[in-house]
Amino acid sequence: AQSVTQLDSHVSVSEGTPVLLRCNYSSSYSPSLFWYVQHPNKGLQLLLKYTSAATLVKGINGFEAEFKKSETSFHLTKPSAHMSDAAEYFCVVPNAGNMLTFGGGTRLMVKP
């Protein structure tokens, strides 16, 4: 089965500085990969998805992620953090059928 590991449980940045949330995957082939965001007391929203069409994927709210097969990584980045980006972020890989396997999550804190 495919799996993902999020390398940081908490990340803290200042408003206006870059964001980097790290995700490594484990798979015997190039998987599909997703990033979901969960704002406090809310459900999950899809940020972006990689499905092998292009290695650099742009998502909503200025986020993007780059699929690097050589590093088995799919890190999420944003050039400039905004206070509204404070949330929990999940790297996700689909397994058989529609089943999703989640990473442990990274809580992003944005300081003014």
Partner 1 sequence: NAGVTQTPKFQVLKTGQSMTLQCAQDMNHEYMSWYRQDPGMGLRLIHYSVGAGITDQGEVPNGYNVSRSTTEDFPLRLLSAAPSQTSVYFCASSYLRLAGGRTNNEQFFGPGTRLTVL
Binding site for partner 1 (CB under 8 A): 9, 32, 34, 36, 41-46, 49, 51, 90, 94, 97-100, 102-105
Question: Nearest approach, Cβ of 2 to partner 1 (angstroms)?
Answer: 11
Question: Nearest approach, Cβ of 35 to partner 1 (angstroms)?
Answer: 12
Contact at 8 Å (CB) between 21 and 108? yes
CB nearer to partner 1: give 44 or 86.
Answer: 44
Distance CA 84, CA 99 (A): 29
CB nearer to partner 1: give 2 or 15.
Answer: 2
In degrees, to the nearest 5, what angle opens at C-alpha 53 toward C-alphas 51 and 56? 90
For tokens 């088995």, name the residue: 72
CB nearer to partner 1: give 97 or 112.
Answer: 97
CB nearer to partner 1: give 46 or 54.
Answer: 46
Q: Which amino acid is at 54?
A: A
Backbone angles phi, psi at 32, to 5 degrees: -85, 150
Question: Nearest approach, Cβ of 52 to partner 1 (angstroms)?
Answer: 10
Strand ranges (DSSP E) for 51-105?
56-58, 64-68, 73-78, 87-94, 100-102
Question: Nearest approach, Cβ of 94 to partner 1 (angstroms)?
Answer: 5
